[in-house]
Amino acid sequence: MTEYKLFGATMSPFSMKMRAYMRYRRMSFQWITDERANKVAMTKVASSMVPVLEDPEGVFRNDSTFMIDLLEHRFEDRRAEPEDEADAFLAHLIEDFADEWLLWPFFMMRWRHEDDRRSSPAAQG
């Protein structure tokens, strides 16, 4: 295996965050969203949630913040983290705030309307 595999779902904001990050960094990766993504999440990581990143060595990880941090240290080209220490601190603070607090209005608005709730994969279940 010569590239990363990103197991995720288009309905997962953290999966889409990881996909956007890896595209920005121009990293070679496979984007896997079918039932294999769920199986990997259920069997390869403790939290049983996507996204899951498999590195070329076959190690599986999840939690988008820690995956991005790892990739920032592994690759130098097109880094997303600012070089200035104060700017990097602010970037991490904003990222943490967005991950923890902007998720609430995101999910509230996602399924606010009946049509949206009916189209949810959970409603298909």
- Quote the mean pLDDT of the chain: 89
Average pLDDT in the 38-63 region?
Answer: 95
pLDDT of 81 higher than 70: yes
Res 108: pLDDT:
78
Percent of the chain with pLDDT over 90: 67
State the pLDDT confidence band at 124, using cuts at 50, 70 and 90.
low
> Which residues face 64 on adjacent strands?
none
pLDDT of 48 higher than 70: yes
Q: How far apart are CA 51 and CA 105, in angstroms?
A: 20
Higher pLDDT, 125 or 51: 51
Percent of the chain with pLDDT over 70: 94
pLDDT digits (tens, 9 = 90+) for 84-110: 999 999 999 999 998 888 878 877 777
3-state secondary structure of 12: coil
For 80, residues 6+ apart whose C-beta sits below 8 A from its C-beta are: 21, 24, 25, 68, 72
Higher pLDDT, 116 or 123: 116
